[in-house]
Structure 1
Amino acid sequence: MLELSNLCVRYGHIRALEGVSLTLKAGEALAVAGMNGAGKSSLVRAICGLVPVREGQVRLDGQAITGRPLHRLEGVALVPEGRVLAPSLSVSETLWLGAGRVSARTLAARRDGVLARFPELAGRLTQRAGTLSGGEATMLALARGLMAAPRILILDEPSLGLSPAATARVFDTLAELRQDGIGVLIVEQNLHLALGFADRFLLLQHGRPVGEGSTAEADRSAGLEELLLGH
């Protein structure tokens, strides 16, 4: 289980996050929503040790991981905004990088499992990542994250720039991962898409939590979209 308690992040005098708390259990999906500048990406970066945390704690299965860099976070994988693939690397090399330091046997087993989930990548192992379509690149970024065998998967704007068909493919895959017991934290500007997928939501505004609850409650909240849009 991932737990954040009273998390605060500042860039100089700017408060990017203030008093953010959340929990994410195995097989659960939590959507973090908000306008640009609401603090969504800062939240992701704080969990993954990419920015310093001024106050608060991040815990994974009860163990403090606050400030620990992503490459040392066993059990947590990030699929960053914009996919962030090295364009000169092949699909196979990209998958290999996602696994970290594991034995050759473990690497092969993980790759076989990932390619079974993403058969569209199996025939493209020698293709350069930079030549993939947007949907294919997103699949590769997601596959790379799964090579770490995470218990918690964090995605930052996974639908960004994707066609409706590619977006549906991504979210179908995420639903399968939840059934396998992986907790999914998703940062997504598309409020309806995020709420349709997740069990619970956390709404940020100016770095502060201004709404949270079950997605069923969100569907009944007539003022939620107005709050998100700043009306």
Structure 2
Amino acid sequence: MPSDFWSPLRLSLEIATAASLVVMILGLVAGRIMTNRHFRGKAIIETIFLLPLVLPPTVVGFLLIVIFGRNSPAGHFIEWLFQQPVIFTWWAAMIAAVVVAFPLMYQSAKTGFESIDEEIEYAARVDGAGEWKLFLMVSIPLAWKAIIAGFILSFARALGEFGATLMFAGNIPGRTQTASTAIYLAIESGNMQMAWLWVASMVGISFVMLVLVQGLRK
């Protein structure tokens, strides 16, 4: 196996794992808040949550540059806090992965919470359970299949992210070069052997992830 094979793949797995953990927390909280609640503007909020699913990756990357770039308030604050801009760093790659993976986790978590019998949660409240205890001890255990499926799908999506990552984090070997961007560079340079190795690895990992999701749906 070529020595430069492992670095992009390892970086992809690290970013996908970190992003999936962040997305799981955000998705669980957002899914719980939006489940069985009706208020003005809910449709707009949910549309914003799901936009990364349909927006071109380059649009997502552009918006991330606008929001977190050096000329933005958030970019200025991050640079002041960490003494460096976030763009073209490992953190930029993780932020891009979080944004594109969040809709999958949110949808799965919300679907899982909506499948719970409201009478069970009502009984828990009658027995004195607060909202956080109800969330952690009742809702999450009852919706665990949907939550795990959402986590796996989010991981697979974050693992394969390309367009937004390339624009926002770049393609710096050893720092921000993920397997997806490495495949692009390998094809551009005519290194088809490395491209095939990374492609085979990504297909294998994604295949296993989807098999696990299908198993949870049985």
Provide the TM-score with structure 1 as the length reference: 0.25
Which structure has the bigger radius of gyration? 2
Q: Which has the higher helix share?
A: 2
